[in-house]
């Protein structure tokens, strides 16, 4: 009988700086495709025509006051802030571990400092809109999306390569 791998520990890197012990929680980016219904003549039901991806957002919570995050707010370029989530997952049945590594680049769209009360937790929530996303498990790239350069790799296949070629880029 198998057991699911559970997240045992994590950290977030902001421009290479580790927030080990300062990152409380991460909402991992949701991957969404926009599908439009199309029911052609003779179809019994509509099928979903893929119209591309939805924006990717990385949300993370940090304790205390991290000035670096505020200094990055209002960045003028789409991929100004490099962030990296690294999680160590473990199967309690076998003891085997695996690394989940998500790298994103973008800019902060929201910083919520939460409430301030002496002697209470001071958790801040940061939302980062991403122009780049890469998911790796144990060093293997599963998905890579680079919106600016029209790259969308899934399982080693670049699904945008033919479109770039058709456009001459």
Q: pLDDT by residue (tens digit) across 25-42? A: 999 999 999 999 999 999
Confidence (pLDDT) at 1: 67
Confidence (pLDDT) at 65: 85
How many Å apart are CA 62 and CA 57, to the nearest integer? 16
User: What are all long-range contacts of 118-125, with beta carbons under 8 Å and residues at least 24 apart?
Assistant: 121/63, 122/63, 122/64, 122/65, 123/24, 123/61, 123/62, 123/63, 124/61, 124/62, 124/63, 124/64, 124/65, 124/66, 124/69, 125/59, 125/60, 125/61
Confidence (pLDDT) at 73: 96
Higher pLDDT, 21 or 1: 21
Average pLDDT for 133-158: 97
Whether 4 has a pLDDT exceeding 70, the answer reads yes
Q: Which CATH number fits domain 5-36+49-136: 3.30.70.1380, 2.30.110.20, 3.40.50.970, 2.60.40.1120?
A: 2.30.110.20
Confidence (pLDDT) at 122: 84
CB contact set of 95 (below 8 Å; sequence gap of 6+) = none
| Average pLDDT score, the chain | 94
Instruction: Give the CB-side neighbour count of residue 136, counting CA atoms within 13 A.
Output: 13
Whether 3 has a pLDDT exceeding 70, the answer reads yes
Average pLDDT for 105-124: 90
> Do the beta carbons of residue 68 and residue 95 sit within 8 Å?
no
How many Å apart are CA 31 and CA 51, to the nearest integer? 14
Share of the chain above pLDDT 90, in %: 88
For the chain, the structural domain boundaries read: 5-36+49-136
Confidence (pLDDT) at 167: 96
Give pTM, 2 decimals: 0.91
Alpha helices, H only, 11-146: 67-72
Structure-block tokens of residue 138: 């144990």
């Amino acid at each position: 009988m198998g057991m699911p791998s559970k997240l045992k520990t994590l950290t977030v890197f902001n421009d290479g700086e580790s927030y080990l012990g300062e990152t409380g929680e991460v909402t991992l980016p949701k991957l969404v495709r926009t599908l439009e219904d199309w029911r052609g003549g003779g179809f019994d039901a509509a099928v979903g025509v893929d119209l591309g991806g939805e924006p990717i957002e990385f949300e993370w919570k940090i304790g205390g006051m991290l000035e670096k995050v505020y200094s990055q707010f209002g960045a003028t370029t789409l991929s100004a802030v490099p962030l990296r989530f690294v999680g160590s997952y473990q199967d309690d049945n076998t003891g085997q571990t695996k690394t989940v590594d998500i790298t994103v680049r973008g800019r902060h769209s929201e910083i919520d400092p939460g409430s301030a009360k002496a002697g209470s937790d001071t958790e801040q929530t940061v939302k980062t809109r991403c122009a780049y996303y890469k998911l790796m498990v144990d060093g293997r790239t599963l998905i890579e999306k680079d919106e600016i350069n029209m790259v969308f790799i899934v399982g080693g296949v670049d699904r945008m390569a033919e479109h770039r070629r058709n456009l001459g880029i």
